[in-house]
Structure 1
Amino acid sequence: MSRLFRSGIAISIMTLMSRILGLVRDVVYANYFVMGGAMDAFLVAFRIPNLMRRLSAEGAFSLAFIPVLTEYKEKRSEAELKDLVNHVCGMLGLILFMITLVAVVAAPLLMMVFAPGFAAKADAEPELAAYLLRITAPYMLFISLSAFFSSILNAFGNFAVPAFTPVLLNVVMIAAAVWWAPHFDEPVEALAWGVFLGGIAQALFQVPYLKKLGLVPNFSFKRGHEGVSRILKLMAPALLGSSAAQLNITINTMIASLLASGSISWLYFSDRFVEFPLALIGVAIGTVILPKLSGNHANAEGKEFIQTLDWAMRLSMLVAIPATFGLIVLAVPILAIVIDNGVNGWRDVEMASMSLMTYAIGLPAFIMVKILAPGFYSRQDTKTPVRIGLIAIGVNIISNLVIVLPWYQMGFVGAHAGLALSTAISGFVNAGLLYYTLKKQGHMVLNSGWVPYLLKITAASLAMVLAVWFLNPDDAWWQAAGVWKKLGELGILLLTAMVTYLVAILAVGIRPKQLLKV
Structure 2
Amino acid sequence: MSAPQDEETQPVAKPAVTGDDAQVDAPGAGDGAQGDPAPGERATPRAGLLRSGAIVSAMTMLSRVLGLARDMVIATLFGAGSGADAFFVAFKIPNFLRRLFAEGAFNQAFVPVLSEYATKRSRQEVRELLDAVSGSLAVVLTLITAVAVVLAPWLAWLFAPGFGRDPEKLALTAEMLRLTFPYLLLISLTAFSGSVLNTWNRFAVPAFTPVLLNLALIGAAMWLTPWMETPSLALAWGVLIAGAAQLVFQVPFLARLGLMPRPWPRFRHPGVRRILKLMTPALFGVSVSQINLLLDTVLASLLAAGSVSWLYYSDRLVELPLGVFGIAIGTVILPALSKRHAEQSREHFAQMLDWALRAVLLIGLPSALALVVLAEPLLISLFHYGAMTERDIAMAAMSLRAYALGLIAFMLIKIWAPGYFARQDTATPVKIGIIAMVANMALNLALILPLAHAGLALATALSAFLNAGLLARGLRRQGVLVFQPGWGRYAWQLGGGCALLGAGLWWFSPPWQAWLHWEVEQRVLTLGALVVGGVTLYFAWLVASGIRLRHFRLNS
User: Residue 505 of structure 2 corresponds to which residue in structure 1?
Assistant: 468
User: Residue 334 of structure 1 corresponds to which residue in structure 2?
Assistant: 378
Correspondent of 1:117 among 154, 162, 165: 162
CA separation in 2, counterparts of 1:489 and 1:425? Answer: 32
CA separation in 2, counterparts of 1:348 and 1:476? Answer: 13
The amino acid across from 1:486 in the alignment is R
Which runs of 4 or more aligned residues in structure 1 lie more than 4 Å from their structure 2 counterparts after TM superposition? none
Correspondent of 1:479 among 511, 516, 526: 516
The 8 Å contact of residues 464 and 500 in structure 1, kept in 2 or not, is answered as yes
Give the drift of 1:215.
Answer: 1.3
The amino acid across from 2:87 in the alignment is F
For residues 341-395 of structure 1, give each alpha carbon's deviation from its aligned partner in whole angstroms, at most 9, with x where no partner exists: 2312111111101100110000011000000011000001111111111111111
Correspondent of 1:71 among 100, 116, 120: 116
- TM alignment of 1:221-232, pairs within 5 A: 221-232=265-276
CA separation in 1, counterparts of 2:221 and 2:397? Answer: 24
The 8 Å contact of residues 194 and 250 in structure 2, kept in 1 or not, is answered as yes
- TM alignment of 1:311-330, pairs within 5 A: 311-330=355-374
The 8 Å contact of residues 136 and 267 in structure 2, kept in 1 or not, is answered as no
User: Residue 137 of structure 1 corresponds to which residue in structure 2?
Assistant: 181
The amino acid across from 1:64 in the alignment is A
Q: Does residue 85 of the first structure (1) align with residue 127 of the second (2)?
A: no
Q: TM-score, normalised by structure 1?
A: 0.96
* 1:418–1:283 distance in 2 versus 1, CA, 3 Å: same
Correspondent of 2:494 among 437, 448, 457: 457
User: Residue 46 of structure 1 corresponds to which residue in structure 2?
Assistant: 91
CA separation in 2, counterparts of 1:458 and 1:268? Answer: 30
User: Residue 61 of structure 1 corresponds to which residue in structure 2?
Assistant: 106
For residues 17-50 of structure 1, give each alpha carbon's deviation from its aligned partner in whole angstroms, at most 9, with x where no partner exists: 1011001001101111131111101100000010
Give the drift of 1:57.
Answer: 4.2
User: Residue 8 of structure 2 corresponds to which residue in structure 1?
Assistant: none
Correspondent of 2:531 among 478, 488, 494: 494
More helix by share: 1
The amino acid across from 1:127 in the alignment is A
Instruction: State the percentage of identical aligned residues.
Output: 49
Correspondent of 2:551 among 511, 514, 517: 514
The amino acid across from 1:193 in the alignment is W
The amino acid across from 1:491 in the alignment is G
CA separation in 1, counterparts of 2:437 and 2:419? Answer: 20
Correspondent of 1:440 among 477, 481, 496: 477
Q: TM-score, normalised by structure 2?
A: 0.90
The amino acid across from 1:470 in the alignment is W
- The gaps in structure 2 that reach 5 residues or longer are 1-18, 20-46
User: Residue 189 of structure 1 corresponds to which residue in structure 2?
Assistant: 233
The 8 Å contact of residues 56 and 147 in structure 1, kept in 2 or not, is answered as no
Instruction: Compute the RMSD of aligned alpha carbons.
Output: 1.3
CA separation in 2, counterparts of 1:500 and 1:391? Answer: 40
Out of 458-467 and 163-172, give the one that drifted further: 458-467
CA separation in 2, counterparts of 1:216 and 1:510? Answer: 43
Give the drift of 1:52.
Answer: 2.1
For residues 100-147 of structure 1, give each alpha carbon's deviation from its aligned partner in whole angstroms, at most 9, with x where no partner exists: 01110111111111001111258x600000010001010000000000
CA separation in 2, counterparts of 1:509 and 1:244? Answer: 38
CA separation in 1, counterparts of 2:488 and 2:88? Answer: 41
For residues 380-439 of structure 1, give each alpha carbon's deviation from its aligned partner in whole angstroms, at most 9, with x where no partner exists: 1111111111111111101011111x32xxxxxx51011110000011001100000000
User: Residue 10 of structure 1 corresponds to which residue in structure 2?
Assistant: 55
CA separation in 2, counterparts of 1:290 and 1:6? Answer: 15
CA separation in 2, counterparts of 1:221 and 1:304? Answer: 37
CA separation in 2, counterparts of 1:392 and 1:455? Answer: 30
Q: What's the secondary structure of 1:445's corresponding residue? A: coil
Give the drift of 1:55.
Answer: 1.9
CA separation in 2, counterparts of 1:423 and 1:74? Answer: 39
User: Residue 32 of structure 2 corresponds to which residue in structure 1?
Assistant: none
User: Residue 259 of structure 1 corresponds to which residue in structure 2?
Assistant: 303
User: Residue 25 of structure 2 corresponds to which residue in structure 1?
Assistant: none
CA separation in 2, counterparts of 1:462 and 1:236? Answer: 44
User: Residue 22 of structure 2 corresponds to which residue in structure 1?
Assistant: none
For residues 454-498 of structure 1, give each alpha carbon's deviation from its aligned partner in whole angstroms, at most 9, with x where no partner exists: 243122112111111111111221111111110111000101110
CA separation in 1, counterparts of 2:267 and 2:420? Answer: 27
Correspondent of 2:328 among 281, 284, 296: 284
User: Residue 24 of structure 1 corresponds to which residue in structure 2?
Assistant: 69
User: Residue 242 of structure 1 corresponds to which residue in structure 2?
Assistant: 286
User: Residue 168 of structure 1 corresponds to which residue in structure 2?
Assistant: 212
The amino acid across from 1:178 in the alignment is M
User: Residue 411 of structure 1 corresponds to which residue in structure 2?
Assistant: none
Q: Does residue 358 of the first structure (1) align with residue 402 of the second (2)?
A: yes
User: Residue 410 of structure 1 corresponds to which residue in structure 2?
Assistant: none
Out of 470-479 and 133-142, give the one that drifted further: 470-479
Q: What's the secondary structure of 1:481's corresponding residue? A: coil
CA separation in 1, counterparts of 2:411 and 2:102? Answer: 16
The amino acid across from 2:368 in the alignment is T
User: Residue 367 of structure 1 corresponds to which residue in structure 2?
Assistant: 411
- The gaps in structure 1 that reach 5 residues or longer are 408-413
User: Residue 442 of structure 2 corresponds to which residue in structure 1?
Assistant: 398
User: Residue 389 of structure 1 corresponds to which residue in structure 2?
Assistant: 433
Equivalenced residues, count: 510
The 8 Å contact of residues 266 and 272 in structure 2, kept in 1 or not, is answered as no
Out of 151-160 and 441-450, give the one that drifted further: 441-450
CA separation in 1, counterparts of 2:112 and 2:357? Answer: 21
The 8 Å contact of residues 44 and 115 in structure 1, kept in 2 or not, is answered as yes
User: Residue 418 of structure 1 corresponds to which residue in structure 2?
Assistant: 455
The amino acid across from 1:462 in the alignment is A
Q: Does residue 98 of the first structure (1) align with residue 150 of the second (2)?
A: no
